[in-house]
Structure 1
């Protein structure tokens, strides 16, 4: 179920500054550590997409807060909105969206496949599993891309028609388990975004982002 982000600027509107901008966001409800880490993963992706250097994304687990520092930001209000909006997970073939986050129940990094190597195990909804079976049957030997918003997470070649609603992505031992855990967090974040709100924003000094 997709939730709506409640953007609540408790300390006034963000200001555009030359040197930098710091924003603190917090979940709108009590969440566990796993959910908070998922939220941070999405924020990390969004910060990277801004094209800034030496950005900082910190997790304060004691207060369920994420602190973001953005050096050299030009439009702080727009950047803030981008950081907390809902992330959309999509599966694409030839640039066309064939499945999205609503079709995914959970992604998990585990071991399996031919060599008992690190793999990604996907658990799809009933409807998502049926569509996935049809889509893979029609697109054997084509590449399927998995995206979080417009950020490509990975590409996988469809080797055969896949039914059962629990496909695996096998990297033939080429990816470490820790990397696949990051992918799983990112995919789960897209499927189940955590509601966030801005609770503080401020400008920062000229040393941010400079050596």
Structure 2
């Protein structure tokens, strides 16, 4: 059964995505790259900083955690090699800029989503449930909305769908998405990254998953294991 689920979310998630897409009037999942971004391609290509070197040494750990991604989260791929995402920037619940570095010491499941993206809308309740059950001083789901415009539409969506456990993180500039895309991690939305307490990318995936299920919980438990 795990093999059958390896690249596709549960049927319930697909149906929910289709319904959400109709309600949202969504006509496309993928977003277009703009000229803005947290880093220019040349900077990313240059890389090689001490943080990236330290993260690259975690290749074996990334493979080990990637092996724990089975069933409904099996599309999550180990970082090859792991890289530092400390500089990723977005606005926190207080509306002020924050970075992955500000979450030091905590494993983060970073998810980029938009209200016009049907699969994003479908998986938000599951991400909320994962945060409610497993959120702690050691683990947090950070779901960053990337809608253009003001906060009205994304906040209304979260309210209407009963999302209460997730903090409200936001980037209306597309800089965050473009940074992740430049790094070769994003094809479109949603995109999800598993980041360790040192800000190192351990695993990533494009597309939705059933984040409230037992497979996701086992993945988080594996990511929280020392070593």
- Shorter-chain TM range is under 0.3
Structure with the bigger percentage of helix: 2
Structure with the bigger percentage of strand: 1
Question: Which protein has the larger Cα radius of gyration, Structure 1 or Structure 2?
Answer: 1
Bigger RCO of structures 1 and 2 (CA < 8 A, at least 6 apart): 1
TM-score w.r.t. structure 2 length? 0.25
